[in-house]
Structure 1
Amino acid sequence: MKRFFILVALLVPFVSNAQSKLSQNIINDFSARIAAHYQLPNDSISGYIAEQLTRSGNAGLDIDSTVFDLKKDMVAFDAALKYLYQYSDCNRQRYIANLRSLGLQTNSVFPIATYTVNKYKDEAKALLDDKKDFLVTYAGPNTGKKPPASIADVIAANNNANAATTTPAEETSGTAAADGATAANTESAPAADTRNWEVRPLFQVRKPEQLVEMYGEANVTQRDAINLAGDKEGEAYVIYPDTDNEVEVQFDGENGNIVTFSHFPSKWKSPYGIKAGDPLDKLNKVNGRPFKLNAFEWTNSGLVTNWQGGALEGKGVTIVLKANNTGDPKQYDQATGDKTLRSDMPALKKLDVIIESIAFKGAN
C-alpha cells in the first residue's frame, strides 16, 4: 500500500501538467485552418478571433498577417485558442465541436482542447464576462481576406499597373498622325490605380535596392531622417516623394524597419487602420482607452507619451498629434505649454486634433 501511494505521488505532477505543450504539427494544423477560414466571407469563428486579437492588442502590426500565420507568433496563437474557447462559452464539448468545424485533423482536436482548458480554466468567468461586453459593440465577422502581399506580389502588381498606363509609341504614318489628332480631341477616362498599397511588405525589405525594384527608381529617393527635435537621425528612403502617398522607410538593422506616414489623404493600407489625418476620436477607439500626450507649442509637441495599457501599448507605434482649430485662445491655452494631457480632455474635442505623423516599428 505504501508503494502505491508513492507511485500516485510521483504520477500526480505528470497528470496535472498533462498537455502543457502542443507539438509543432498541431500548431501548424490549427494555424493553417484558421488562415483558410479567414479567407471565407463572414466566417464567424475566425472573424470573432480576429476582432478579439485586434482589440486586445495581440494582433501585432497587422491583423491580417497575424491571423494568416499564427504559428509564427505564439502569443497570438495562444490568444487565438483563448478567444475560440471564449467563443465556445468556455464549454469543453462546444469547444471541441468548433475545433472540428474548422476541419482540424482528428489527432489535433483533443490535444488542443486539453491544452486550452488547462491553460485557461481559471479565467473562464472573466472570459465570459468579457464576451458579454465584447458582443455589445461587435459588428460581426470581417473575413473573406486575401493573404498579405509579399515583396514579389508588390513588384508584380506595380509592374502590371505601370504596363497598363504606358501608351505605346505612335506610328509615324499619315494615318497614324490623323488618328492621333482625333484622339487628342477625345477626353479619355483616367486609368484605374491598381498599384499595391499594402504596408506590410515595407517591413520585409532589408536594403534600398528592394524598394527601387518594388516601386521604380523614379519613385524612391534618399533623404536625411529628421527627429522631433529637428536633428539628423540617419538616412531615410522616401517612396512617392512630395505626394499625398509619400512614405518614409528607415532601415534599423537587426531592430527592424521604421515606416513613417506624414502626408494625407493616403492610399496606403496602414497597420491598425490608422494613418496621418485621422481624428483623435478614432485613435482613442483603436487604443481602447484614453492615453497621454505632450501639450502643444512645447518640446515634442503633440507626441503620444503613454498608451496607458491600451491596445497600442508596446506595439512600436509613435504618433504626433496636431490641433487644427487654434483660433479660440481659451480652449487652445488649455492644451499648450510644458505639461501632459489626457486624450479624453474636453478641450481637445473642440480643437479638431488629428494625427500629424505616425511611425510603425517592425521587428525582424
Structure 2
Amino acid sequence: MKRFLVLMALVLPLAISAQNKLAQAVADDFSARVAHHYQQKNDSITGYIAEQMTRSGNAGLDIDTTIFNLKGDPAALDAALKYLYQYSDCNRQRFIANLRSMNLQSNSVFPLATYTANKYKNDTKALLEDKADFLKTYTGPVTGKTPPPSYVNAAGEVVATATNPVAAANGEQPSATAAAANTASPAAATEATPTDTRNWEVRPLFQVRTPEQLVEIFGKDNVTQRDAINLAGDKEGEAYVIYPDTDNELEIQFDGDNGNIITFAHYPSKWKSPYGIKAGDPLDKLIKVNGRPFRINAFEWTNGGLVSDWQGGALDGKSVVIQLKANNTGDPKQYDQVTGDKIIRSDMPVLKKLDVIVQTVSFKGN
C-alpha cells in the first residue's frame, strides 16, 4: 500500500502537469490542421477563430501570418484553442467533434480537449456571453487564404503563392476558372445580380508601397491625395485617401520600409479593421479589446481625447493610436470632470454618461 501511495504521489503531479501543457507534436498537429483549413473557402471553424482573434487583438496586425504559424506563437495557439472551445459552446464533446472534423491525428484530440477544458474551465460564462455578443455583428468566415512564401504544409511541401503582395494577402490565385470568369460574355454578366465584390480587408494595404499600386487596385477615381494633418492641426506630409468623402473613406500614409499608417475617421464603414476597432465604436468596446482600463488625455486640451497609455493591455505596444470624443456634452458639470490639462481613466463612470466613442483610429504596420 505504501509503495502504491508513493507511486501515486509521483505520478499524479506528472499527470496534472501533462493536462496543463501541450506536447510539441500535438501543438504542431493542431497548427498544421488550422493552416490547412484556413486555405479552404468559407471554412466555418477557422473563419470564426480568425475573426475572434482579430477582434480581440490576439493576432496583431497580420492575422493570416499568425494563423499559418500558430506553433510559432504559443499565445496565439492558446487563443485559437480558446475560440474553438467558444465556437463549440464550451462543450467538451462538441469541441472533440470539431477537432475530429479538422482531421487531427487521433492521439492529438484528447490531449487538446483536456488541455483546453482545464485552461478555460473558469471562463465558460464569459466566453458564452462574448460569443452571443460577437454573433450580433459577425458576417461569416473569410477564408480561402494563400500561405506566405515561407509556409510549409503538413506534408513538408513548399506551397507556391501569388506574386502580387495584395493578391497574396487576399488569398487570390490565378486559375483557369478565374480566367474564364474574366472572359464571360456581356449577356451573362447582365443576368447576374449586381453585388459588392470589393475586398474590405485592411491588412493587404499594409503591404502596398506606392500611390500607383493604390490606383491600380481601387481605380484613379477612388484615390486622391491630401495633406496629412496631425492632432495639433499642422501639416505632416502627404496622405492618400481611398473612397474620399464617403463613409468608407480611409487614409493611408507611406513611410517607406518603416511601413504604412492607415487611419479611419468615418463611420459607419465596411472596412474590416485590425482588432475590429473602427471610428464610432463605443468606449466600452475599446476597454474590452484592450482587456483592461487605460489612460486618456482629457478633452478640450492638447491632444485631447488621445489614448496616452494602454496600461499594459492587449493594445500596448501594438502601434494603435486612438482619439476619442464625447457626444453628450450638454451637462457642463459632467463634461468639466474630463476636460483640461490632466490625464483621466477610461473607467470613470462619467464617461458612460457622456457617450464617448472612437473619433479616429490609426494603425501602423511594417
TM-score normalised by the shorter chain: which range applies? 0.5 to 0.7
Does the 8 A contact of 1:19 with 1:111 survive in 2?
Answer: no
C-alpha separation in 2, matches of 1:126 and 1:344:
28
Report matched runs for 1:36-115 at 5 Å. 39-41=42-44, 43=45, 46=46, 49-50=49-50, 53=53, 57-61=57-61, 65=64, 68-71=67-70, 74-75=73-74, 77-80=76-79, 83=82, 99-104=99-104, 106=105, 110=107
1:145 to 139, 142, 150: 142
Q: Which residue of 1 aligns with 2:330?
A: 327
Give unmatched runs, 5+ long, in structure 2: 1-17, 147-164, 187-192
Instruction: State how far apart, in whole Å, the 2-side matches of 1:154 and 1:208 are.
Output: 22
Letter in 2 for 1:102: M
Distance 2:300 2:231 in 1: 13
Larger radius of gyration: 1
Q: Note the C-alpha offset of 1:352.
A: 2.3
Aligned residues: 306
Report the counterpart of residue 293 of structure 1 in structure 2: 296
Distance in 2, Cα, partners of 1:280 & 1:67: 27
Matches within 5 A, 1:1-364: 21=24, 26=29, 29-35=32-38, 39-41=42-44, 43=45, 46=46, 49-50=49-50, 53=53, 57-61=57-61, 65=64, 68-71=67-70, 74-75=73-74, 77-80=76-79, 83=82, 99-104=99-104, 106=105, 110=107, 127-131=120-124, 133-139=126-132, 144-147=141-144, 151-152=166-167, 193-363=196-366
1:267 maps to a residue whose letter is K
Contact 2:31 2:71 in 1 (8 A): no
**CA distance in 1: counterparts of 2:269 and 2:37, whole angstroms:** 31
User: Normalized against structure 1, the TM-score is what?
Assistant: 0.66
**Cα gap change, 1:148/1:278 in structure 2, threshold over 3 Å: closer, same or farther?**
farther
Residues 47 and 141, structure 2, Cα contact 8 Å, conserved in 1: no
Offset at residue 322 of structure 1 (A): 1.0
- What amino acid maps onto 1:357 in structure 2? T
In the TM superposition, residue 333 of structure 1 has moved relative to its aligned partner by 0.5
Question: Which runs of 5 or more structure 1 residues have no equivalent in the other structure?
Answer: 1-15, 165-189
Residue 249 of structure 1: SS of its match in structure 2? strand
CA contact (8 A) 2:305 2:323 kept: yes
CA RMSD, 1 decimal: 4.4
Question: For residues 144 and 227 of structure 1, do their structure 2 counterparts lie closer, same or farther at Cα, with a shift above 3 Å needed?
Answer: closer
Contact 1:299–1:338 (8 Å) recurs in 2? yes
> Structure 1's 82 and 311: CA in aligned 2 closer, same or farther, altered over 3 A?
same
- Give the superposition deviation at 1:249: 0.8
